[in-house]
Amino acid sequence: MTPAISVGANVYRLRKEARLTQDDLASYLGVTKASVSKWETGQSYPDIELLPKIATYFDTSVDKLLGYEPQLSKAGIKREIARLREAFATLPFAQAHAQCQELVRDYYSCYPLIAQVASLYMNHLYLAGEGERVVLADEGIELCRRIKRNSEASADIKIAEVVEASLLLATGNPQAAVEALEETFEVDTGADILLANAYSALGQLDDADKTLQGALVQSLVLSLNRLTQLALIWSANPDKAGKVETAYARSLALIDAFDMDGFYVNTAAIHFSFAMAFIAGGNEQRTLDCLEGYERSCRELEFPIKLHGDDFFDMAEAFIEDVNTLGGDAPRDEALIKKTLVEGVTANHAFAPIADDPRFKRVVKSLEEVAR
């Protein structure tokens, strides 16, 4: 999507607003009336050396005269990223990648956009061949570093930090990931509580409500993911098998206490992560229990997948829309999500020891039905 150059339409509009004739403008610029007419009808463009003179005459900038917008709106970013998600799902990988590269070239200083493109690379890295995977990751990492060097928006920088570290980990560079995150890692200081107090003091109770609801939803989701990561770490130590069980029990309790199956679309991933932890520890029966929980959560998914609130978190969705460029949209196209629901289990070598178990086969059959 190359930004449109609309210099002719802008010359016409500015001339009409100034109540000038084509002859008036032509005389000032030292060109013919026919030249001005051709600009305004889109038959030709002014010579490049005339652009500053035209812009000065109408008291505007060259960028505004050209109609060039180096930034996309939030709605424009959502639209373009949705288009690229679909491209990754329906086109050969190389073509989808090329579309991403073209968009980045057109909007190389639109940091919210290139942060989302880098995130798109991270979420579709598994589609790339071995050589393509390295290229894609390197491109994503460089986009993240450009954002960190040049953007003044903390939200874009935080996305870039996380995506860069994720890409480094995915390509086998854990030390580089540590170095990328260590200096910027911050413990949550509860700034949302202070912000909500400030909103309340101003009588802006809806803003206070939305801030706390949104922060609480984020905290719950992060808590679940931290529990799964702890379980994966503990699974390597036989002495901590009991802690893996406790982590799973507490994760289920948290999901149940806040009815998270009703608004957090990725509770299935929690069950899946614990299945990985249990199989790593050699506990096949608990692995199957978790995979059955994964299958049940997948069956409850509603497509198109979108982060949202519920009756309790009735302002969480508004918060997500405010703070996230893509709002609650899923990071992958629906077709790819359905495909990975099945392949995440069937193509996972970790589950080879239980592949012939009737319970495992029932899970796979059910997932295949969900993916249709």
The tens digit of pLDDT for each residue in 240-293 reads 999 999 999 999 999 999 999 877 768 999 999 999 999 999 999 999 999 999
CA gap 242, 224 in Å, rounded: 18
| CB atoms near residue 160 (< 10 Å) | 26
Supply the pLDDT for residue 264.
77
pLDDT digits (tens, 9 = 90+) for 297-324: 998 887 777 777 888 999 988 888 887 7
Supply the pLDDT for residue 22.
93
CA gap 277, 248 in Å, rounded: 10
Exposure of 213 by Cβ count < 10 A (0-12 exposed, 13-18 middle, 19+ buried)? buried
Q: What is the pTM of this model?
A: 0.77
pLDDT digits (tens, 9 = 90+) for 121-150: 999 999 998 888 999 999 999 999 999 999
Distance of CA 175 to the CA centre of its chain: 24
Supply the pLDDT for residue 225.
94
CA gap 157, 111 in Å, rounded: 9
Query: Dmax over Cα atoms in the chain, in whole Å?
Result: 89
CA gap 14, 20 in Å, rounded: 9
Average pLDDT, the chain: 90
Residue 315 Cα distances to 67, 152, 208, 212, 216, angstroms: 37, 28, 10, 9, 11
- Three-state SS for 117-181 is HHHHHHHHHHHCCHHHHHHHHHHHHHHHHHHHHHCCCHHHHHHHHHHHHHHHHHCCCHHHHHHHH
Residue 244 Cα distances to 274, 296, 347, angstroms: 8, 21, 24
Instruction: Tell me if residue 326 falls in helix, strand or coil.
Output: coil
Q: Are 87 and 99 in contact (CB under 8 A)?
A: yes
